[in-house]
Amino acid sequence: MKAIEQSCIAIIVFSENYASSQWCLEEVAKIMECKEQTYLTVLPVFYKVDPREVRGGRKSYGKALSKHESKFRKDLEKVKRWKKALFDAGSLSGWHLSDGDESELIQRIVKEISTHLDRSPLHVAKHPVGIDSRVVKLEWMLNLKAQDNVVMVGLWGQGGIGKTTLAKALYNTIFRQFEGSCLLANVREASKDSKGLVLLQEKLLSEILILQQRLEVSSVDKGINLIQHRLRHKKILLILDDVDDLCQLNALASEGKWFGGGSKIIITTRDKHLLTCHGINQDHIYEVKALDDSEAHELLSKHAFPTQPKLEIGTDLVDGVLNLTKGLPLALEKLSRVPNSKINDVLKISYDGLEENEKEIFLDIACFFKGKNSEYVEKVLDSCDLEAIIGLEILMERSLIRIGFTIEMHDLIQFMGMEIVNQECRDDPDKRSRLWRHDDVFNVLSGGVGDCAVKAIVLELPEPTKMCIGLDAFTKMRRLRLLILCNVHDTFQGPLCLPDELRWFEWPGCARGIPEFSSSPKKLVGLDMPKSSIAVVPKQFKVSISLLTELILAWNNITSLPTSINKHGRLSLLHVQSCHQLKEIPELPPLLNFLLADGCESLQKTGGLTSFHNFVPRGLAMANISPPDQQNTGRYMICLPGEEIPRWVLPIEDDSVFFMASKELYGKFLGFVLCAVLNSNRIWLEYFIPSKLWGVVDFGQTDGGYAQFSLRVSGGIVKKWGFRIICKQLEDDLEVVLEDNELIDPALLYEVAHESTDSEA
């Protein structure tokens, strides 16, 4: 029995008197048990006996089994097990010999077994570092013991991360547990040709069925039918490597029911969305991650110094290579020899498969925004007429970026993106879409520019640097949509004029004034010019920049803002912090969400911004209205100079406030107002809609249907604070309930029907 357990092929020779032997019946039962539980291939030979006699218990088999039933009356389960084994084995495809040539049959059997033994392992890698632990995780995910269901698993990760290597190693570990196995390599590349999918279908069928001659498939549809018909009862292992299109999966493994129970289908891809669209749930998607530092160091050493494994390598050299490759196996292999353009070619495959929107976003991140705050990047990209949310999601699914608080990208992927831009025109930066190097930006801005292809310039220098910017440098850049200059001092004394297509403009610290605008409408969405020497905001501001949503002029010398600023219907953020000479804030735009004006000591008029009749209506408006193409923040916040809490806000003596409310009362709440007097004589006043502060409230967890609410303010910068609940007019019976249960201080509630006057400010 041990020999059966250790075998990979079992040949059962059924003869006329086979069933009369208890030992033979025990062996066939053990063989069929191993077939179900492990990787045993079973090949039956029916020697001068009809297969129907074996599986149906007829003639000599029926007589023998009747005798066994009489003998084992007290253990009929044993006989039932034998019968089942005979039925299962007799149902298998094998050889039937009645009166033919026995030697010819033996030759056929030898040839068939040789074919099965030719199913050899695949070459994995010269140095398979870090593979074993990952294979163990995948074996668990595949649930190899489950024999009923077909399991599909996706291996997802960026190019060069080792998906194919891992798939091959997994194949070698488990392929003998299946009746047939096949790895279709480079599906993406192989299916480009018009007959590519047909050839892949032919290879799949030939390898799994172990056919001696090529099986011809006339069309993809015919191939689908053949796969379903020939493989639906076979337990198979199929690996589809480097898939990038659903049509490939639909042609090769559209559904689990195409294959027999216990089959395992493994798909490697760079596109996570492809796997989810194919119906593979998150629990069956394995993200292939980079090698850790110790694994990367080991792999580098084995590739770079194969004959001298104990050679001491300079720490700086090793650290430099490891820092560049970031645990990417392909890069470690190539860079251990010489820098190789093949790395770029492999990584660029993911870029080539992107739509135009995602390509633009990818290049912007590679050239400008790696490591930047993700919310900031999304805002800038949106301003440039790009679909940022969906684009970033797709780049993340394609393993080109990672998104957390910041947007991260592998150094080699970033280099690939920069190289794409450089290859647009190596000799002439005017002909490139993006500029980020000092020399390229200097050449374009200081010289005469004809037809300029530049879409974006982001120059962030480590220290202030002088640069002569030509009078018409920007106006000739008709395609320019993004301009960010940090630590750039313009030595030209004349006015600068921005191009009409510009969407986002940042020039902190060095500008002498806001650039001029032509009379034609501008498309500018964000203007960020803090810590400069700006004294005047141009009067034509309202005419030129009607799309403006963000205006940052903090730490400047402005004395006033134009009254026309309230005409900017889309302006949601105004930042004039520490403009020490600013004397007045005029009427604000209707949809402004955030006003930062602390540190403006000269302010004499604020338009009653902290009064109830000004602040609360704005807060209520923010709860229901958002600027076009912008997400509703559900908040309204201002920060102004001051030391006193407005009289209509209830001062809170402790560092927290606590109350309980019924669902009925909570439904009356319109918003919450939080006010804090901070160090440096600043008042922070903020309005929240209920869902922004406490999210979805469950009123079923406490007796009587009440929910508990609390708010704590802590930190050394808060000198005193207050709180108020803005609510609808309460009915008389609800007011009585409030007085009776004492679960909330009625003073916290401010009904919007109350009269408010300027004296309340």
Question: Rounded to a whole number, what is the largest CA-CA distance in the chain?
Answer: 116
Residue with tokens 């059924």: 14
List of E strands, 48-157: 95-97, 151-156
Residue 341 CB-density burial (10 A; 0-12 exposed, 13-18 middle, 19+ buried): exposed
Q: For each successive 10 residues of the chain (761 residues), what is the average pLDDT?
A: 82 91 92 77 89 87 88 85 91 83 84 72 77 87 84 90 89 85 92 88 90 81 94 93 94 94 94 93 89 68 54 47 58 50 73 93 96 95 94 90 91 87 92 94 78 91 86 83 91 75 90 70 86 78 72 92 84 93 89 92 85 89 57 79 93 91 87 92 91 79 75 86 92 70 85 53 42
Beta strands 706-712 and 682-688: pairing type? unpaired
The strand pairing partners of 240, in sequence order, are 184, 267
Distance of alpha carbon 530 from alpha carbon 578, whole angstroms: 10
> Who's near 234: CB < 8 A, 6+ residues apart?
179, 180, 208, 259, 260, 263
* Cβ contact 232:117 at 8 Å: no
Residue with tokens 């602040």: 615
Question: pLDDT tens digits, residue range 565-596?
Answer: 888 888 999 999 999 999 999 888 888 899 99
Distance of alpha carbon 128 from alpha carbon 470, whole angstroms: 57
Helix, strand, coil content of the chain in percent (nearest 5): 40, 20, 40
Amino acid found at 64: A
Distance of alpha carbon 457 from alpha carbon 435, whole angstroms: 5
Question: pLDDT tens digits, residue range 307-319?
Answer: 444 444 444 444 5
> Who's near 253: CB < 8 A, 6+ residues apart?
152, 238, 240, 259, 265, 267
- Collect contacts of 696-700 with beta carbons under 8 A, ≥24 apart: 697/666, 699/662, 699/663, 699/666
* Cβ contact 511:529 at 8 Å: yes
Three-class SS of 211-280: CCCCCCCCCHHHHHHHHHHHHCCCCEEEEECCCCCHHHHHHHCCCHHHCCCCCEEEEEECCHHHHHHCCC
Question: pLDDT tens digits, residue range 359-402?
Answer: 999 999 999 999 999 999 999 999 999 999 999 999 998 888 98
- Cβ burial 203-226 (10 Å sphere, 16+ → b, else e): bbbbbbbeeeeeeebeebeebbeb
Distance of alpha carbon 42 from alpha carbon 93, whole angstroms: 9
pLDDT of residue 704: 62
The predicted model scores a pTM of 0.72
* Cβ contact 228:206 at 8 Å: no
End-to-end CA distance of the chain: 93
Distance of alpha carbon 276 from alpha carbon 267, whole angstroms: 12
pLDDT of residue 382: 95
pLDDT of residue 577: 94
Q: Assign residue 634 a region (left: φ > 0; alpha: ψ between -120 and 50; beta: otherwise).
A: left
pLDDT of residue 326: 59
Beta strands 682-688 and 669-678: pairing type? antiparallel
Q: Which residue, 364, 337, 362, is CA-closest to 347?
A: 362
Beta strands 650-652 and 682-688: pairing type? unpaired
The strand pairing partners of 285, in sequence order, are 154
pLDDT of residue 760: 42
* Cβ contact 562:585 at 8 Å: no
Radius of gyration of the chain, Cα coordinates, nearest whole angstrom: 37
So which residues are the catalytic ones?
27
Three-class SS of 493-518: CCCCECCCCCCEEECCCCCCCCCECC
pLDDT of residue 591: 84
Distance of alpha carbon 190 from alpha carbon 184, whole angstroms: 9
Chain mean pLDDT for the chain = 84
